[in-house]
Amino acid sequence: MALAIIGLGLNDERDITVRGLELVKNADVVFVETYTSFLQVPWSRLKEFYGKDVQFADRDVVENKAEELILKPALTKDVVLLVAGDPLSATTHTDLIARAKQHGIQVTVVHNTSVMTVVADTGLSLYKFGKIYPELNLAYNWIRKFPRTSPAPGMAAARYGHVMILVSHVDGNDWLVHDGNSGGGLTRR
């Protein structure tokens, strides 16, 4: 069974991607998270359009009760968490992904439009903010500036231009890691 964290886009219930809609339609449990971003439509329209009972997930549910209400059911059922905008715009959701992976739960992230890209409607382009400098690269600086330490689950690690989260120790120098920078956020050895 699995957890899918699905971006809803920025406008209404119809902004969900086809892939996201398929996951919702096949889900056993559906939550809508409502505190990291604002929905532009009444909650009831989500229920009607998706043909599912959509449960409300406030900050307390996502941050403090996720183990019981989201992750435990995802061990035996397909659970969906709907998020306005793009799901990885908030660290709350990356934390939930890391916790799910620690439980061995398969996680799927379905991205969608976010404020970071819609800003182009104003005439601004992300390139207008200036040239990209390698010195500002998180992984590059992490390796250069932070001292080495003994690894432990939940810690961040940097290697080859990627910052990863250590999920669990496998054997020797091998770790299971969550690498959000490659291939749709894979967890691999």
DSSP string, 16-70: S-HHHHHHHHH-SEEEEE-SSS--SS-HHHHHHHHTS-EEEE-HIIIIISHIIII
pLDDT beyond 70 at 187: no
- Section 88-101 average pLDDT: 84
Tell me, yes or no, if the pTM score tops 0.75.
no
Dist CA 173 CA 182 (whole Å)? 21
pLDDT score for 3:
97
pLDDT in tens, 103-162: 999 999 999 988 767 766 666 666 666 555 555 555 556 666 666 777 888 777 776 556
pLDDT in tens, 56-80: 898 889 888 999 999 999 999 999 9
